[in-house]
Amino acid sequence: MQAQLQKYIPEQAIPKVISLLEHGNLIIKIKKERKTRHGDYKSLPNGKHQITINSNLNKYRFLITLIHEIAHFEAYNTYGRFIKPHGIQWKRTFQHLMLPFINPEVFPNKLLPLLAKHFKNPKASSDTDTQLALALKQFDEPNNKTFIFDIPLGETFKLYNGKVFKMGNKRVKRYECAEVKTGRLYLFNPNAEVELINENNE
């Protein structure tokens, strides 16, 4: 597991992560990209516990996601199976586990204040923290995706599921866009990644 993790997380984080994973009943699996989640945790019928993480995440996103899922495992063991998935017990566990990693040996300095702010009250997904999500995405490998806040008004774009939308106006924090096929309006976070459609990309 240590050799496998070295490929995915910051080097200085490896010893602490290995110590967190020293559970005989905990299985870690690296998966291909899943569009709807970065990772997940589940209790298996055989008494073991499984964490899966997407392989395409950059090393900082991967580490945060891994600790997020380990926090589910630890909260389950400490508080039992009937707690809310992202309730106060999980939040406190996540904060406790993540704190030792929030330092300049593990994360770039420009991420540290955003991480400190986020972990005052961690959310179910760091993607809902727009500032942190945008900062983390600066470390992604180049791809053909565009942030929705870069799409010009009136231009069309598509999601991973193939649905096509027309860019609309900004509403406070999110953008109102109309699905071309149905005319139905949707609100998008500014850090949503989409594919711009133009004459050369149909």
Q: What is the pLDDT of residues 153-182, one digit of tens each?
A: 999 999 988 899 999 999 988 999 999 999
Q: What is the pLDDT of residues 127-143, one digit of tens each?
A: 888 889 889 988 988 77
Grade residue 25 by pLDDT with cuts at 50, 70 and 90. Answer: confident
Grade residue 126 by pLDDT with cuts at 50, 70 and 90. Answer: confident
In this structure, how many other beta carbons lie within 10 angstroms of the beta carbon of residue 125? 13
Q: Label residue 14 exposed, middle or buried (CB < 10 Å: 0-12, 13-18, 19+).
A: middle
| Count of helix runs (H) and strand runs (E) in the chain | 6, 10
Q: Who has greater pLDDT, 79 or 134?
A: 79
Do 81 and 72 contact (CB within 8 A), yes or no?
Answer: no
Q: What are the start-end ranges of the H helices in the chain? A: 2-5, 14-20, 59-79, 88-98, 112-118, 130-137
CA 118 to chain CA mean position, Å? 13
Q: Label residue 10 exposed, middle or buried (CB < 10 Å: 0-12, 13-18, 19+).
A: middle
Largest Cα–Cα distance of the chain, in whole Å?
56
pTM of the entire predicted model: 0.80
Q: Could you tell me which CATH number the domain at 146-197 has?
A: 2.30.30.30
